[in-house]
Amino acid sequence: MNSYPSELLCHLYPMMFVAGLERWPSKAPAEEEKDAFFILANRLRETLNAQRPSLSVWNNPERKFNIILVDKDVRFPPRKSPSTHSPLSPLTNTSPLYPDGLIAPVWLRKHLLLVPSVLVLFLRLTEPQFPTSPLEPTPPASHLTQEDSELANEIGGRKRACADRGIKLTVVLMTSRRMLDDPSLDTRLTFIRRQSGLDSRASLFVLSPVSPAELNEFINSLQGALLSSAIEYYTAHSKRVRRKRGSMPSLSAIHPHSAGPLLSPAGWHIRYEFKQACFAELRGENEVALKHYLQTLHLLHEYFSASHPNGSFIIAPRTKRWAEAKVLADCVAIKILAHHLSPPAAPRLTVSHFNSHIQTFSDFLKAWGMDESGWEFWSWRARQYRILADLLTTSPSPVPLLLSTSTSIPSSSSVASRVTSAESKQSIDQESLESQGLNPATQLQHPGIYYYTAAECTLIRRQRFVDVTFHPLMVEKATVQSGPSYANEQKVDHFNVALELYTKAYDLFKTHSAVDGTSQSKGTRLTFFVASKIAEVYCLKGENELAMKFLSRIARSYRSELFTPLLRKTLRIWLQASQSAGDVESGVKVLLEMISRQQDRPELSSEKDGIPTGELIEDLMVILKVKCVTMYVSSFNLILQFRSHHEVRSSITFYHPQVHIDGLAPFQILIEPRPGVDLSAIPFESLSLELVCSPSSPGAQPVTKIARIRHTSSSADNAPLRHVPLSVISFEDDGQNDFVCNADLSFPKDTSVLLSGNVSSHFTGKLEIVKSTFTIKEGNWTIDCPINLSNGRFSSRWFTSLEPLKSLILPQEEPAVCAFHYEPHSLGLELVHEPEAYLDEEFNISLVVTNEDDRDFECFLDVLLHPAEETADNTILIDDQSSSSLIQGVSFGILRSGEKQAKSLVLRSSGPSGPRLLDISVRSQAVPSVDTEDADSYETLKTLTVPTSHAIGNVSRVTYHRVEGRLWSDLSLYDPEAWQTFCEARVCTTLTCDGESIEILSIKFASTQENRYTKAQACSLEPEDFPLTLMKSDEFSIMCPVLLSRGHEEPSVIPSAGTYEITWRRTAPGSKDSTSIISMPLFNPPSDNLVALLHVPPVATLHLPFTARLSIQNDSFATAELSIQIEPSENFVVSGLRSGRLSTLIPGNGTSMLFNLIPLTCGPSKIPQIKVTDHRRVNTHIEGGDRREAPEEDVGRSVRVIDARSEGRLQEEPDEASSESTSAENGTQDITVLVVP
C-alpha cells in the first residue's frame, strides 16, 4: 500500500486543533518544576499528542478526533471568494487538476492537517491576590476586570476568525483549585463569555491542576461534548457538495476559454460522490461512507469504459489523468475492503468485492493493451494480492478465515490462466452450493495464501519483462508504448520483492498450520513447499549457497514424509545450484539420490518431469572419472532408501529371537531396489555390514564386527533373487574385527540380493546389525553410502527356498534383534500342602527343590505374599524369618546334580476368608559363581494360590426378655455407678464345622472386664464336653444369659459381653493346635413404651383355683390413664376386678393386679381376654393455631398384653408399633393353660 497516496487510504476522523499549550515565558528550571500549571500543560501535551493524525487504514472505535497541537496565533488557509472557484477545482487555471482532473490528495490533506472542525484554545485565567490571613484586607478587584476584558477581546478575535469558516471555538481557562471556590468566579466567566461572543453550548470550560487519571477523564468528556459540533461542521460541507451536484451548470458556460477538454459530467459526479464518502466518514457514519465509496467505484468503472463515437476511450490509457483515475479506483477499492474487514467483519463481501475488482480491472487492462503477456498486468495483480494480505495481517480485530490449507496452491501457470468466478453469470442457489462444499475462491483465507499468490505474480512479471528485454524489437516497442513504465521496471529488483513475499507467506503458513483443520504433517508440507519456492528464487538470483541451505532442510522433510514428486523437483533445483556454485561434493550426493529415486520411463526425458536415469548415471561417471577426492557421506540415505515399500523394500530378520551362548543365530538381509531401477552401471566396490553385540554386563563396551562383502563379477544369469551366503561371524576374542567374503553386488533391473549367515557369541548380550554401507570405487574416488536398514512390513519374512521361491512370516515382535543368553537351569520346584488352609492356623507348605541339571547350583529362596483385604492379617515364616509381605535370600546351599533340598513355609492367616496368593522364586547360580551381574544365573518362578476359609463357623441368636426394674422415682438409679437391669439377653452361639473334620480341645469364655453395661451369667459350657470331634457340618451350641444395663449414658448399642477362646486342631496326625477367638454380638434390645405382662402357670388342675398376675409397666415419657376389662369365658371362672379404672401411672412406674381363675374344662384352654386401654388425652393442632383435646370418643389406645412365659424378643422383630396393634386387637386369646383332671 506504500505505492498509493496515504491521504486516499487512511481512515478519516474529525480534525481538532489545540492551541495555547506552547511554552510560556521561561522561568528558572527549579520554578518550572514546581509550577502546577507548567506540569498540567506538559501532561496535556503528552496526552493529546497520542491522538495525532494517523495514516492507518483501519477505524479505531475508541478514537473520536485527530488532534494537532498548534500555535495560539494559527492561521487558516484563505477562503475562496463567492465569485471564484476553489484553488483545487479543475476549473481553476492554477489547479493541479486543471482542466480534467478528478481529485487530488492535497484536497484530503487540507481536511486532515490544515482546516479543523473544532479549535480548542487553552488560556490562563488571572487570579486575585488572596490574603494570607483573615486580618488582611481584600485587595481591590479593579485590575481583574481589565484582565478579563483583555482576555475576552482575545477570545472574541479568535471567535470571529473561526466563525468565518464555521469552525467551533471552545475555550478552556486554567486556574487554581482555590479559585474554583471563589464566589466571583461565576460572574467573571459570564462576563468573559458574553463579552467574547462565545456560544452557550460547550464553549467555555475551567480546568485546574488535577491528577493524570482525572485529566484523561476531562479530555474524554471534552471530546464527547465537541463531537456533535464537528459532525455539524462536516454535515454543512456535505450539504454544500450535494447542492453543487444538484445545480451543476454547463461546463462551457463555466470556462469558455479552456486550453483542453474539460472534465466530463461523469468526472464531476465521481468528485462529488467521493467527497460525500469522505465527509460521511469524517462524521463517523461508516455505513453511509461505504455506500458512497461503492457508488464512486461504480462510476469510475463507467468512466473507464466510456468511449468516443470513433471507438477511442474518453480517458486515454497511459496518460497522467488515466494514471490518477486508476490510482483513485485502487484506493477506493482498498477503502471498501477495509470497511468490510472492520468489525463486524464480512468475509464473504470482502472476497466478493476483491474478486470483482480483480476481474473488472483485468478486463480493463486487456482492453488497454496490457494483457497477460506484459509485465504491467502482473505488476498490478501482484500489488492487489499483496494489499489484501497486508490488510488481513494488520487488521486490529480478528477476521473469520478459512484456515484449511488443504486447498492446492496455484502454480505459476495456473495463476497465469486463473479467472476468478466471484460474479458468476449463472445464478446458483447458495444453499445447494454450500451443501456440496466450499469453494476456496469465494472464501477468505489466511494472508499467507495471498502473499504466495503475489509472489507468483511477481515471478511471472519478471519473466514477462525478461522476455521483452531479450528481444530488441520488443524492447523498442515497449519503450515507445510504455514510456516511463519500462524505465521504472528496469529499476525493480524482482527477486528481492518475490523473496520478501515468499518469506511472509512462509511465516504465515507456519503460524496457521498449528490451528489448521488439517493434520500437522500436511501443514508442514505446505510450509516446506513455500520454502522450496524461496530456494528456487535464490537459485535464479545466483545465491546458490543460500539455495542449497534451504534445499537441504526441505529435502530432509520430503524424505521423511515420502513426498517423492516434490522431492524430485527439489533435487533437480539442488543439482542446478550445486553445478552453478561449483560444489562437486554436493553435486555427487544429489546425483546419487536422484538416481536412486528416478524411474526408468521414456516420458521422463522431458524437462518438466525430470532427467532420464541413464543421463544421470553418465553425468555421475563423468564426475567420478575427472575429479579426484575422497569423501564420506553420512547425512544422506543414498542409493537405497528403506523407508517405504514404494522405493526400496528391505528386511533384517533373525530366525530366533533368543539363542544360547556359543550357539548359532541365523539371519537374512534382503536388499530389494524399487522396481524399474537399473543400478548395474554404478561401480559398487563392496558392501559392509556393522554388527554390534551389546554385553549384558553393566559397564562393558559393545563389541563390533565388520562383515565386508567384496564385489566380484559373476557370469551367472541375473536371477530375480540372488543369494549371497556368508559363513559364521563369531564374536570370539580372536583379535580380528573384520570378516571378508566375495559376492556379486551388481543390481541390474528388477533384481534383489539376499544375504544369509550365522552369528555366534561366547557372552550374553543383544545383537543388532546397525549399519550397512555400499562403497563406490571409481578412479581415485571412494564414496561410502550408508543405507538405512529400517524394519518395515517385510521385516518378519524368512526365505526357506529359492527355487521355487518360498518364504514364511516369523512371529517375532522384533525380528531385527537377537539376544544371546545362558542356557536355562533345569530345576524342579515341588509344593506339598493341604488343599485348603484354615484361618487362625499355621498352614504348612513344603518346598522341595530338585537339581535336574548336570551343573551344580547355589540356590536361594524368595517368597512374596501378596496383600489381601485391608482387614486381613497374614504372616509367612521360614526358618527364623517371618514377614507380612516378603522373605528374601533363604539359602538352600549348593545343590549338586541330582540332589534335592526341602524347606517348610508356614502361612498364618486371619481376618476374612478368601484366597492367599504367594509368589515363590528360586534363584540359582552356577558354581563356581562369578561376582558380576552377567553371571550364569536363573530364576524359577511359581505362583501358589491357597484357598483360605473358616475352620469353625459361628452364628449367634439373641433373645431379649423383660425384667421388672425399680421405679424411676428411686433416686439411687441416677447414680452413674448404679446398676439397673432393664433387660436379659439370652445368647445362643452355634458353632459349625466348616472344614473336613476338626477336634475341639477346649472352649473358654472370657467376659469383657471394662464393660459397665453387661453381666454374663452362668454359661452352658462344661469341661467334660471336651475334647470334641466335629465332622463337616456338625454343630455345637453354647447358651449364655447376659444382664443388660443402659447405665447413665444410655448408649445406642451395647458392647459385647465377652469372647469364646476355642482351641482346636485338624484330626490328621501331627497337626498342631490352633486358637480361634469368637466374640459375642453387640446388643441392641428393642424398646418398650407401655406394656402389660400376664403371669400364669403352664399347668392347672380342673376345678382348683390358681392365681394370675397382670403387671403393667409405663416406660414412656407420658402419663398413662388405664382401664381394664375382662371378657367372659366358658373355660374359666374369674375372681377379681373384671372392669374398671386403674390408678394413673406416671412415667417409669408400674402396677400389678391379681386374679383367681378356676378351670372348668380339661385340655389346653385359652385365658379369658383381658383388654387394657390407655385413655390419655391426645392433643390436636388445628388450623387456627389453638391446641384442643380430641373428642372423647376418639380417645383410647389399646395396650399390648403379653404372655410372660414367652415374652422374649429377637432383634430382628418388627417395630413395636405394628406388634402392639396386632396384640391389642387380639387381647389375650393366644395365652393358653393346660388343664389336667
Ordered structural domains, the chain, with CATH: 6-76+115-129+141-235 (3.40.50), 630-821 (no CATH), 840-946 (2.60.40), 952-1079 (2.60.40), 1090-1236 (2.60.40.10)
**Residue 455 and residue 497: Cα distance in Å, rounded?**
8
Residues 12/282, Cβ–Cβ less than 8 Å: yes
Confidence label for 329 from pLDDT (cuts 50, 70 and 90): very high
Q: Which of 206-220, 613-627, 1222-1236 has the lowest mean pLDDT?
A: 1222-1236
The answer on pLDDT for 26 being more than 60 is: no
How many CB atoms are closer than 10 A to CB 82?
5
pTM, 2 dp: 0.59
Q: Who contacts 536 (Cβ-Cβ below 8 Å, separation ≥6)?
A: 547, 573
Confidence label for 1097 from pLDDT (cuts 50, 70 and 90): very high
Instruction: Please give the residue that has the higher pLDDT: either 1147 or 367.
Output: 367
Q: Are strands 721-730 and 703-711 parallel, antiparallel or unpaired?
A: unpaired
For residue 887, give the nearest of 843, 919, 916 by alpha carbon.
Answer: 919
Q: What is the DSSP letter of 165?
A: T
Q: What's the pLDDT at 503?
A: 93
Q: What's the pLDDT at 518?
A: 47
The answer on pLDDT for 716 being more than 70 is: no
Q: What's the pLDDT at 1219?
A: 43
**Residue 1086 and residue 1209: Cα distance in Å, rounded?**
8
Q: Which of 98-102, 211-215, 746-750 has the lowest mean pLDDT?
A: 746-750
Confidence label for 790 from pLDDT (cuts 50, 70 and 90): low
**Residue 1129 and residue 393: Cα distance in Å, rounded?**
111
**Mean pLDDT within 966-978:** 59
**Residue 696 and residue 1025: Cα distance in Å, rounded?**
68
The answer on pLDDT for 1198 being more than 50 is: yes
**Residue 687 and residue 671: Cα distance in Å, rounded?**
11
Confidence label for 450 from pLDDT (cuts 50, 70 and 90): very high
**Residue 117 and residue 231: Cα distance in Å, rounded?**
8
Q: Which of 396-400, 956-960, 1069-1073 has the lowest mean pLDDT?
A: 396-400
Q: Are strands 952-962 and 983-993 parallel, antiparallel or unpaired?
A: antiparallel
Question: pLDDT by residue (tens digit) across 356-376?
Answer: 999 999 999 998 888 888 889
Q: Are strands 204-207 and 168-174 parallel, antiparallel or unpaired?
A: parallel
Confidence label for 602 from pLDDT (cuts 50, 70 and 90): very low
Question: pLDDT by residue (tens digit) across 237-274?
Answer: 999 999 988 876 544 444 444 445 778 888 899 999 99
**Mean pLDDT within 205-226:** 92
Q: What's the pLDDT at 410?
A: 42
**Mean pLDDT within 88-92:** 81
Task: Fill in the amino acid letter for 998.
Answer: I
Confidence label for 1231 from pLDDT (cuts 50, 70 and 90): confident
Question: pLDDT by residue (tens digit) across 535-553?
Answer: 999 998 888 888 888 888 8
Q: Residue 393 class from Cβ within 10 Å (0-12 exposed, 13-18 middle, 19+ buried)?
A: middle
Q: Are strands 900-910 and 842-851 parallel, antiparallel or unpaired?
A: antiparallel
Question: pLDDT by residue (tens digit) across 1115-1141?
Answer: 777 888 888 888 888 889 988 888 888
Q: Output the CA torsion sign for 208, 213, 216, 217.
A: negative
How many CB atoms are closer than 10 A to CB 659?
21
What average pLDDT does the structure give for the chain?
80
**Mean pLDDT within 503-522:** 70
Q: What's the pLDDT at 636?
A: 36
Helix then strand then coil, in percent of the chain rounded to 5, is 30, 30, 40
The verdict on whether omega for the bond into residue 99 sits within 30 degrees of 0, i.e. cis, is yes
Q: What's the pLDDT at 69?
A: 93
All cell numbers assigned to 270:
465521481
Residue 656 φ/ψ, nearest 5 degrees: -115, 135
- Determine what percent of the chain is predicted with pLDDT higher than 90: 26
Q: Which of 45-54, 89-98, 398-407 has the lowest mean pLDDT?
A: 398-407
Q: Which of 24-33, 196-205, 878-887, 985-994 has the lowest mean pLDDT?
A: 24-33
**Residue 686 and residue 221: Cα distance in Å, rounded?**
88
Confidence label for 296 from pLDDT (cuts 50, 70 and 90): very high
For residue 639, give the nearest of 706, 694, 684, 693 by alpha carbon.
Answer: 684
Q: What's the pLDDT at 172?
A: 94
The answer on pLDDT for 290 being more than 90 is: yes
**Residue 1064 and residue 1072: Cα distance in Å, rounded?**
9
Measured torsion, CA atoms of residues 647, 649, 650, 654, in degrees rounded to the nearest 10 = 160
Q: What's the pLDDT at 971?
A: 57
The answer on pLDDT for 405 being more than 70 is: no
Instruction: Please give the residue that has the higher pLDDT: either 379 or 100.
Output: 379
**Residue 163 and residue 169: Cα distance in Å, rounded?**
8
Residue 226 φ/ψ, nearest 5 degrees: -95, -5
Q: Which of 15-19, 702-706, 741-745, 849-853 has the lowest mean pLDDT?
A: 741-745
Question: Helix or strand or coil: residue 1113?
Answer: strand
**Mean pLDDT within 318-345:** 91
Q: What's the pLDDT at 641?
A: 38
The answer on pLDDT for 851 being more than 70 is: yes
The answer on pLDDT for 37 being more than 80 is: yes
Question: pLDDT by residue (tens digit) across 142-170?
Answer: 668 888 899 999 999 999 989 888 999 99
Instruction: Please give the residue that has the higher pLDDT: either 231 or 567.
Output: 231
Q: What's the pLDDT at 1051?
A: 72
Residues 501/450, Cβ–Cβ less than 8 Å: no
Q: Output the CA torsion sign for 154, 159, 160, 161.
A: positive
- Determine what percent of the chain is predicted with pLDDT higher than 70: 80
Q: Output the CA torsion sign for 1200, 1203, 1205, 1210.
A: negative
Q: Strand locations in 352-399, DSSP E?
A: none
Scanning the structure block, which residue is given the C-alpha cell 538416481? 595
Q: What's the pLDDT at 306?
A: 86
Q: What's the pLDDT at 205?
A: 93
For residue 173, give the nearest of 222, 226, 124 by alpha carbon.
Answer: 124
